[in-house]
Structure 1
Amino acid sequence: MKVSIAIERSIEIPAPVAKVQTLFKDLEGTISRFPKLRKLTKLADDTYLWEMGTIGSSIANIAHEVSYAAKYNIDLKSNQLTWQPVPKKGNANIEGAFKLAERGDKTQLTFKVRGDLYDVPVPLMYRLLAPPFIQGKFTRLVDIFLERTSEALMQAPAPAAKRKAK
């Protein structure tokens, strides 16, 4: 069964945009905070294959190990990181974006993701319930990811101030 997901979540981080941009500069470190990520493989520059642990419920017999590849694009001037799926890699096509917006001395981090999961094994009697159930599971993973990301940023030192040329 194909299941589509679409999630948009925001979190306010008590740090300036320059500090939050460090997420983009440490792409592997940022990705590694995602829950259920079992293995991350670099395929090329800014291109990674995600292999995730089982997502779902063994009780309902709806469990899927998602894998997909994505090519990441970092645009520091517009304060965003986007990713596009790499075709024919894994059992999902996932695209998304991290967007940063200045809010005084804070930063609003918005995370958007959407895509399709393929070959999800779902018993016939759960076909109607499976899409919202899986969407809910992914939404919870995104919430945990954003919490972990915020905590990591609060523990990281502030970026060094640029020195003015004389």
Structure 2
Amino acid sequence: MTVKVKIDLHREFIVAADIDTVFSLLSNVPASAAYFPKVHKLTPLSDNAFRWVMEKVALGIYSIETSYACQYISDTDAKTIVWVPIEGEGNATVSGKWTLTKFAAGTKVLFETQAELILPVSGLLQLAISPLVKIEFTGLVDTYLNNLQDLWA
């Protein structure tokens, strides 16, 4: 039996770096991924498509390894980077978008992501596991965003 955990995150922040510097890093998936915690392996699949395999995370007595793949589409003029899931890859689907806007002496950054993780646990454990998975996922994303903010401070 499996349990699906859905996560929807929206974050907004301002950094001192100019918009082209921010866009350059975020549109380069391997370079940007270097700031994301607990990435076990990032594998290129094709032009701007990557498989992410995260380090195993212990949640109580369970150990979960999340993997997924996304296609990334960068729009230099609009200063957006969109990622869409590649179906049939891994145990999660992840999509999202970076939206960058010039702001005073820096860049306003909007981060949005939606994820659905499919976990091989019984439905009875859903009430216990789902909040832990959401906390772990949110913590990883927030650490990633903090790492980027520190870089562009």
TM-score in same-fold range (> 0.5): yes
**C-alpha separation in 2, matches of 1:26 and 1:47:** 11
Q: Which residue of 2 aligns with 1:163?
A: none
| Mapping 1:7-26, distance limit 5 Å | 7-26=9-28
Query: Runs of 5+ in structure 2 lacking a partner?
Result: none
Checking the alignment, whether the CA contact within 8 Å between 1:61 and 1:123 is kept in structure 2 is no
Identity of aligned residues (%): 28
**C-alpha separation in 2, matches of 1:151 and 1:22:** 16
**C-alpha separation in 2, matches of 1:2 and 1:25:** 29
Match of 1:43 among 27, 42, 45: 45
Q: Which residue of 2 aligns with 1:107?
A: 107
- 3-state SS, counterpart of residue 147 of structure 1: helix
**C-alpha separation in 2, matches of 1:108 and 1:120:** 39
**C-alpha separation in 2, matches of 1:153 and 1:30:** 13
RMSD over aligned Cα atoms? 1.8
- 3-state SS, counterpart of residue 121 of structure 1: coil
Cα distance change of structure 1 residues 43 and 109 upon mapping to structure 2, 3 Å threshold: same
**C-alpha separation in 2, matches of 1:106 and 1:127:** 42
For 2:147, the aligned partner's letter is R
Structure having the higher Rg: 1
For 2:118, the aligned partner's letter is Y
For 1:148, the aligned partner's letter is N
For 1:18, the aligned partner's letter is D
| Mapping 1:1-166, distance limit 5 Å | 1-57=3-59, 60-121=60-121, 124=124, 126-154=125-153
Checking the alignment, whether the CA contact within 8 Å between 1:63 and 1:120 is kept in structure 2 is no
- Following superposition, the deviation at residue 77 of structure 1 comes to 1.1
- 3-state SS, counterpart of residue 130 of structure 1: helix
Query: Runs of 5+ in structure 1 lacking a partner?
Result: 155-166
**C-alpha separation in 2, matches of 1:120 and 1:98:** 31
